[in-house]
Amino acid sequence: MFRSSWIAILLGGASLIACSTAPSPEAATTVDEEALTDLPASIDETALDRATSPCDDFYQFACGGYLASVTPADNERKARVFGAEQVANNEALDQIIANATTSPTTDEDRKIADYHAACMAYHGADPKPGQLTEALRGELAALRAAGNAPSTGGQLGRAWRSTYSLYGAAFQPFVNVDVAPQRERTPVVMELDISPAPSFFLETDATAIDATLAGAYPSLSDADRAARGALILRVDTAITAAIGDSENRAPTRHPLGRDGLKLAAPHIDWDAALAALGASKAKGVVLFNLDVLTKIDAAFAAISPTDLADYLEYKVIARYAYFDAPVGAARAPASCRKATSRALSGIVEHRFVDTVLGKKNTRVAMAMAKKVLATFQTRLETTEFLDAATRTEAIVKARGMQITPLLEPTDRYRDVTIDAAAFVANDVALARRLAASDYARVDGAPPPASLDLANSYASVNAFYDPSSNRFTILPGIAHGAFFGGSAAPAAHNFGALGWVIGHEMTHGFDDNGRLFDARGVERNWWTPGAEAAFKTRAACFVDQYNAFVVDGVTDPATGAPAHVDGAQTLGENIADNGGIRTAFAAATPYFPKAKKVAGFTPQQQFFVAAGQIWCEKDGPAAALRQLQQDVHSPAKARVNDTLSNFEEFSKAFQCAGGSKMTSQNACVIW
């Protein structure tokens, strides 16, 4: 239901109902100063181009050596620091899996070894037709038994439960059934959403439907398969028509409760549906897109229980066929690494955190995140363009901002048996365990904040969620070029990972995030005067980045050199600029006692570290695709335009007025 601002993928937002009570400040700003160390470390001097003046082109100065040493493969984005860090993370995961597989001595080891073995066997050889239906026999039998009832409720509930995914609840047929607290520290409720599942699951391609049926039901006659295919096509076509363009409009939130659901969709036995989900006592229910569910309910009224069972059985099988189809022996190792770390994330990725970060560096990273957040809160007190009323709201929001803890409780699957010869059955068992655990939380207290299992700990990424006012720094980005831990100077850590942290928290105050309050409620808390001032400053960024020309890339529409789209990239550019200023301010107290490294002052080290995390080289096609589709500016613009707006950069490198890296019309919001 929630879309997040990611540092490496697309932005989004969410719409929730207003709430007037502000959260109290949490311990997120209680900084562990002792954890923030300042020890000697080296800069990647091989990446530098010292022949270029940092005041002329800082990106070339910081990354020129790197750019000269790499070549993108197949005209794609292959050469980048982010990619190198991901390779290192993948190698760490491979080693964790290998260690458990070589000598499994604990129950956790055996789960890893057996799941990975089953995955390799499944992907490394062509499975016999019907393997999916065999693995799902128990689920499908229960669904088929529900088909004998006069109500659609039990069937729908069973199908929703059966398609609950290890990827998260968002992959269910036509209606997502999820559970979540309405706000921090409030009871968990059922959430039913019509989008984005429709385009993902609804099929109108008869050939594709027939192919799935042939693989799942090899014993069906041609006539029976054609009849089953016609049924699926008929129902999906009807539901597609009912859904219409709901995916292209913001979902409307309706806190109906259980009784309201019965009125909205009377042909569905909601008592039976919720019982099949394992949430028979659920009372708190929130529905998104009420009108669409009403139309779907009408479509179901015209389907017999037996036909509905046939249809839903196919949708369950299609879900697993889509995600778990064999990829072949060549791709099996990478696929099974990802599958194992995802499916057993409470085990594998907890070990990843211990291996890559360790307890000491985890403490350092969290201390730095709290330091940057505390600095941002302080800086808001002197932000000139905010009036008193808006400043008060902004400070409340910043003080209510949450930091996701870096550590996750271990093994959540102790009661799940993993079969070394049954890959799909393992996925089904693990997904059922997650479903039972999540649905059992309805009307109860929310779980403690933790890393989202839908996101790999090993991903080189970070993101902010406006609907919860929370930012997450995944462990996969908290090492290497981004974070040297206790062995690196504060200047390096704050310039690299600190900028990432500052970037994510600034998303709470960009052109999208500023429209959500401290509790994640979509509410315009800006006075007209402050909002006008924000928009004027934002327009400065749009104009500045619009003028950035991307070297070697031609606009196919005009034949002229391609430019950045300043409006498309606005939110990320605001986050980059606010993030670097906040990170620098947070690092400043540590500069006086710091030493020079590779001839650089602490302030210069900060900016070199900041520049070098964005070293990357794209082929022309990849560069053009980013300009057309990505909400992030190209790396060179992210470095040069951002730093040219920042007076502390010019001071650090003693850039004369009028130099290319000193903006004559600096754009500043935060």
Q: What is the pLDDT of residues 358-368, one digit of tens each?
A: 888 888 899 99
The answer to whether residue 77 scores a pLDDT higher than 50 is no
Work out the average pLDDT over 23-51.
58
**Greater pLDDT, 75 or 438:** 438
3-state secondary structure of 254: strand
Instruction: Give the DSSP H or E segment for 205.
Output: none
147 within 8 A of 306, measured Cβ to Cβ: yes
Answer left, alpha or beta for residue 40, where phi above 0 means left and psi between -120 and 50 means alpha: beta
**Greater pLDDT, 128 or 76:** 128
The answer to whether residue 3 scores a pLDDT higher than 70 is no
Per-residue confidence band for 626, with pLDDT thresholds at 50, 70 and 90: confident
Instruction: Give the DSSP H or E segment for 256.
Output: none
Work out the average pLDDT over 8-18.
26
Work out the average pLDDT over 82-97.
88
Q: What is the pLDDT of residues 167-203, one digit of tens each?
A: 655 567 777 787 776 655 567 777 777 654 455 567 7
**Greater pLDDT, 185 or 318:** 318
3-state secondary structure of 445: coil
132 within 8 A of 320, measured Cβ to Cβ: yes
The answer to whether residue 635 scores a pLDDT higher than 60 is yes
Work out the average pLDDT over 277-291.
81
Phi, psi (rounded to 5 degrees) for 64? -55, -40
The answer to whether residue 421 scores a pLDDT higher than 70 is yes
Work out the average pLDDT over 213-236.
90
Per-residue confidence band for 445, with pLDDT thresholds at 50, 70 and 90: confident
Work out the average pLDDT over 567-586.
96
Domains in the chain: ranges and CATH: 28-77+357-408+457-653 (3.40.390.10), 131-323 (1.10.1380.10)
400 within 8 A of 68, measured Cβ to Cβ: no
Share of the chain above pLDDT 90, in %: 34
172 within 8 A of 163, measured Cβ to Cβ: yes
Phi, psi (rounded to 5 degrees) for 188? -75, 140
The answer to whether residue 9 scores a pLDDT higher than 80 is no
The answer to whether residue 30 scores a pLDDT higher than 80 is no
Single out the residue of 226, 180, 263 nearest to residue 442, CA to CA. 180
In the chain the first and final C-alpha atoms are separated, in Å, by 29
Residue 317 burial (10 A CB sphere; 0-12, 13-18, 19+): buried
Mean pLDDT over each residue of the chain, to the nearest integer: 82
The answer to whether residue 575 scores a pLDDT higher than 70 is yes
The answer to whether residue 31 scores a pLDDT higher than 80 is no
Residue 199 burial (10 A CB sphere; 0-12, 13-18, 19+): exposed
Predicted pLDDT of residue 54: 97
Predicted pLDDT of residue 455: 55
Beta strands 253-254 and 462-465: pairing type? unpaired
Only one residue has tokens 């003693």, namely 654
Ranked by mean pLDDT, the top range of 175-184, 406-415, 488-497 is 488-497
The answer to whether residue 634 scores a pLDDT higher than 90 is yes
Ranked by mean pLDDT, the top range of 80-84, 259-263, 628-632 is 628-632
Predicted pLDDT of residue 251: 64
Task: Give the separation between CA 286 and CA 176, rounded to whole angstroms.
Answer: 12
Task: Give the separation between CA 568 and CA 555, rounded to whole angstroms.
Answer: 16
Predicted pLDDT of residue 601: 95
Q: What is the pLDDT of residues 120-139, one digit of tens each?
A: 988 887 766 677 788 888 88
- Copy the structure tokens of residue 238: 């009807």
- Helix and strand tally (H, E) in the chain? 26, 12
Q: What is the pLDDT of residues 232-281, one digit of tens each?
A: 998 888 888 877 766 666 667 788 888 888 888 888 888 888 888 888 87
Q: What is the DSSP string of 10-66?
A: -----------PPPPP-GGG---GGG---------GGG--TTS-TTT-HHHHHHHHH
The answer to whether residue 340 scores a pLDDT higher than 70 is yes
**Greater pLDDT, 51 or 235:** 51
Work out the average pLDDT over 469-484.
87
**Greater pLDDT, 44 or 588:** 588
Phi, psi (rounded to 5 degrees) for 142? -65, -40
The answer to whether residue 562 scores a pLDDT higher than 50 is yes
Work out the average pLDDT over 312-322.
82
118 within 8 A of 418, measured Cβ to Cβ: yes
Predicted pLDDT of residue 204: 77
Single out the residue of 565, 518, 81, 136 nearest to residue 321, CA to CA. 136
The answer to whether residue 40 scores a pLDDT higher than 80 is no
The answer to whether residue 74 scores a pLDDT higher than 50 is no
Q: Which amino acid, 182?
A: Q
Q: State how far the alpha carbon of 177 is from the alpha carbons of 98, 115, 332, in Å.
A: 36, 27, 31
Per-residue confidence band for 608, with pLDDT thresholds at 50, 70 and 90: very high
